[in-house]
């Protein structure tokens, strides 16, 4: 008897939930046009948030990749620079915390490298002019840094009077001071901020519209069932049983809109990722996260839709259902 008594509350709860689900589904079907409007607006909201998040991931990945690829600097010393000078420069640079690697390519190696990349016609011109590229080309000091934005200590070493006296004037300014690498990184960073800010603004606008649409949809459903609700109150129906179907209806909006938004988002990614990769946008981190964690991403999108729906419904229920 005692075990039966313990099962009754659970059975009752299950019956109530089943009925609330059934009535929520009925409300969703009954108000088909309002349901469609609410789902479409929520779909746009979730898709905007999804696109904004993936765009930010892609651009941030591009920034990280660019930082790695653009972290190599070069300074050039005159071809007749004594070995002890550029070896001293190497030692100072490698002792800097921001410097990862220092490579020295002397004039002879520079000449060999040049000979490997030029065409036969250019090679013939050099030979006819009897140019000794091995003695003409400057010594290249290749510097790989950990943080391309923190070059003060490296610049201080390189601009020491001892080394500046041997610096090749035709290449130093271009390679070290023009800031092309930083400009590329700053540009991508700026676009990442634009994508994030734009996505937040658009997402916020559609989120507000979505809440208002669902709020009004639930409000109209409450008004349409006003007499039925009053009857339920008179016979002693619990408040949670009365408001439950409206919450279920709004949650179903979120489930449907979230599922469609996730499907459309992944279809869009499948189409656009090769295009972005061809345009030089790093998509590795994006695909690793979005594809590697696909079940969690889909569940997250759906749960966000459920949260938006339930929040809107609770606001409407609190305002228009009195107990």
Given this model, what pLDDT does residue 306 score?
Answer: 92
pLDDT, one tens digit per residue, over 51-70 is 888 887 777 777 666 666 66
Residues of the chain scoring pLDDT < 50: 1-8, 172-175, 177-179
Rounded distance between C-alpha atoms, residue 164 and residue 172, angstroms: 10
Given this model, what pLDDT does residue 130 score?
Answer: 52
Q: Tell me the three state secondary structure of residue 301.
A: helix
Locate 270 and state its tokens: 């499948």
Q: Which residue has the tokens 């790695």?
A: 68
Question: Which residues lie closer than 8 Å to 44 by C-beta, 6 or more apart?
Answer: 206, 210
Q: Are 253 and 214 in contact (CB under 8 A)?
A: yes
Q: Are 183 and 284 in contact (CB under 8 A)?
A: no
Given this model, what pLDDT does residue 6 score?
Answer: 46
Q: H or E element: which one contains 211? A: helix 180-224
Q: Are 199 and 55 in contact (CB under 8 A)?
A: yes
Q: How many CB atoms lie within 10 A of CB 33?
A: 8
Locate 132 and state its tokens: 């000794």
pLDDT, one tens digit per residue, over 260-269 is 999 999 998 8
pTM of this prediction? 0.62
Given this model, what pLDDT does residue 1 score?
Answer: 42
Q: Are 308 and 45 in contact (CB under 8 A)?
A: yes
Domains of the chain: 15-66+185-320 (no CATH), 79-167 (3.30.70)
């Amino acid at each position: 008897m005692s075990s039966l008594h313990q099962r009754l509350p659970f059975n009752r709860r299950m019956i109530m939930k089943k009925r609330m689900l059934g009535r929520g589904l009925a409300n969703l079907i009954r108000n088909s046009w309002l349901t469609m409007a609410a789902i479409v607006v929520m779909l746009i909201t979730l898709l905007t948030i999804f696109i904004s998040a993936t765009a930010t991931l892609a651009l941030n990945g591009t920034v990280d990749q660019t930082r790695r690829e653009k972290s190599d600097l070069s300074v050039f010393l005159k071809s007749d620079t004594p070995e002890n000078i550029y070896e001293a420069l190497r030692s100072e640079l490698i002792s800097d915390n921001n410097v990862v690697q220092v490579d020295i390519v002397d004039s002879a190696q520079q000449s060999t490298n040049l000979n490997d990349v030029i065409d036969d016609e250019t090679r013939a011109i050099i030979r006819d002019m009897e140019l000794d590229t091995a003695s003409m080309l400057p010594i290249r000091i290749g510097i790989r840094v950990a943080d391309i934005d923190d070059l003060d200590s490296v610049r201080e070493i390189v601009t020491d009077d001892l080394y500046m006296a041997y610096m090749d004037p035709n290449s130093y300014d271009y390679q070290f001071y023009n800031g092309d690498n930083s400009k590329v990184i700053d540009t991508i960073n700026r676009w990442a901020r634009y994508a994030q800010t734009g996505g937040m603004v658009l997402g916020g606008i559609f989120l507000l519209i979505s809440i208002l649409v669902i709020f009004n949809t639930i409000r109209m459903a409450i008004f349409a069932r006003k007499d039925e609700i009053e009857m339920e109150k008179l016979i002693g129906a619990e408040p949670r049983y009365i408001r439950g179907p409206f919450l279920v209806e709004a949650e179903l909006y979120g489930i449907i809109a979230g599922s469609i938004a996730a499907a459309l988002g992944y279809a869009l990614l499948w189409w656009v990722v090769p295009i972005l990769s061809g345009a030089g946008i790093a998509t590795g981190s994006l695909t690793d996260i979005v594809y590697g964690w696909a079940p969690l991403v889909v569940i997250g999108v759906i749960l966000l839709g459920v949260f938006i729906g339930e929040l809107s419904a609770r606001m409407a229920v609190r305002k228009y259902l009195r107990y």
